[in-house]
Structure 1
Amino acid sequence: MRVASGMELTPRDGQTFRFDAGTLCLEFLLSGALAEWEQLHTPQDLAAWIPRTRLEVRGEVRVEPADLERARRLRAAIQAMAERAASATAPVVQAAEAKTLTEFAAAPPPVPVLGPAADRGWAYPMTAAQYLSAVARDAMEVFTGPLVERVRMCGGERCLLLFLDTSRPGSRRWCSMDRCGNRQKLRTRRDRNPA
């Protein structure tokens, strides 16, 4: 159950980079919170998504057909809260989203297990409902406490990636220094030294 250091993303320009959303609920937005980036078209897509996440699921995942629409509903609630948090719009959590988070968090979360060599993992099979419960519980933690002030949108031009700033000083501005951060440095250098 070691926390992964992010996901590898490949946008339309083909430049692959590593993005760490900082938390499970914001990482879930990468599954297609924006319609043009939708990755969850079938229950099998959701089953394939879950092992990619920071939970590091290594065993069987069971997804029911109804789980797909449920996942999209939870993701939409998280997207709305994250956008309000990133823009400091209050209240971050509105009544409909509170109801959604509560509904999903009520399901049992994934069950952790400890192996004979003190290796940590999960009890399998894991269900989509368990995964969504973990996501909802994480969202409750992020959006109702002091972490909400660290939800950010990348400062890059036309970049809409949302993340939790887990840096010690709380000064992270970019989705990735290898992508938007580097592009901004190049722009700044060009503006200082015009040809």
Structure 2
Amino acid sequence: MQSTKTTGQWFRSGDGHQWWFDSGAVSLDFAYSGAMGENPEWETLHTADDLAAWLDGRFTGVTPATERDLKDALALRTAIAHSAMAASRDEPPAPGDVDIINLFAATPDIPPALDGGSRQAGRSNARAGQALSAMAREAVELFAPQQRERIRPCAADDCGLVFYDESRSNNRRWCSMKRCGNRAKVRTHRANNR
């Protein structure tokens, strides 16, 4: 019933090139399920089943989602996306987005559980709303003033992706080394060979 804390997802660019983007946070991955993408094909949450599948890939033991869960998820996703973009510009999040994130963060999330016992307290499966709460709580941490500086845009001029730099040295520059990082290396190499 806990988050697997695996971050990242496959994206396909407009020209058909597929690449891995690790945003550095589950809540930012969630925002990139459609609310922050530069490509309309990145929208993945069309139905409650789509939401359930997305959550199942990141949280274990989540029950099927309802249409109400989908509506809530889209509201939270938009608030996280707007707040991430604001943070990448070194701006505070909008008060309305803060209210939405705080509302979801205030609801019960998925409690931690130690494997191996024979008795379970509470529900054996988490609800979709609990997974949304867990992501909202992560967003509260990400958008706090002391962490906000770690949310930044990709250094490539032609890329608008935003990520959380979870590196120890706090020096991540690219959305993906296989995409923008590699293109920058190629440009530098060509410029040096001229």
- TM tier, shorter chain? 0.7 to 0.9
Q: Offset of 1:173 from its aligned partner? A: 0.7
Distance 1:86 1:42 in 2: 30
Which SS does the other structure have where 1:184 is aligned?
helix
Q: Identify which of 14, 25, 49 aligns with 1:44.
A: 49
Q: Offset of 1:167 from its aligned partner? A: 1.3
AA paired with 1:100? I
Q: Identify which of 4, 18, 21 aligns with 2:20.
A: 18
Q: Offset of 1:181 from its aligned partner? A: 0.3
Superposed counterparts of 1:24-63, under 5 Å: 24-34=26-36, 36=40, 37-53=42-58, 57-63=59-65
Preserved CA contact (<8 Å) 1:60 1:124: no
Distance 1:34 1:164 in 2: 14
Distance 2:24 2:48 in 1: 26
Preserved CA contact (<8 Å) 1:62 1:126: no
TM (norm. structure 2) is 0.85
Preserved CA contact (<8 Å) 1:5 1:20: yes
Q: Identify which of 76, 83, 86 aligns with 1:84.
A: 86
Deviations 1:74-131 (A, max 9, x none): 1111111111111112xx12221121112111221012221118xxxxx642211101
Name 1:73's counterpart in structure 2: 75
AA paired with 1:116? G
Q: Which has the higher strand share?
A: 1
- The 3 A distance-change label for structure 1 pair 27 and 74 is same
- The 3 A distance-change label for structure 1 pair 24 and 145 is farther
Q: Offset of 1:149 from its aligned partner? A: 0.6
Aligned residue pairs: how many? 184
TM (norm. structure 1) is 0.84
Distance 2:146 2:4 in 1: 23
Q: Offset of 1:188 from its aligned partner? A: 1.4
Q: Runs of 5+ in structure 2 lacking a partner?
A: 118-122
Which SS does the other structure have where 1:101 is aligned?
helix
Distance 1:113 1:51 in 2: 17
Which SS does the other structure have where 1:147 is aligned?
helix
Superposed counterparts of 1:60-139, under 5 Å: 60-89=62-91, 92-116=92-116, 124-139=124-139
Distance 2:182 2:124 in 1: 41
Q: Offset of 1:186 from its aligned partner? A: 0.4
Compare 127-136 and 94-103 and name the one that shifted more: 94-103
Distance 2:12 2:113 in 1: 33
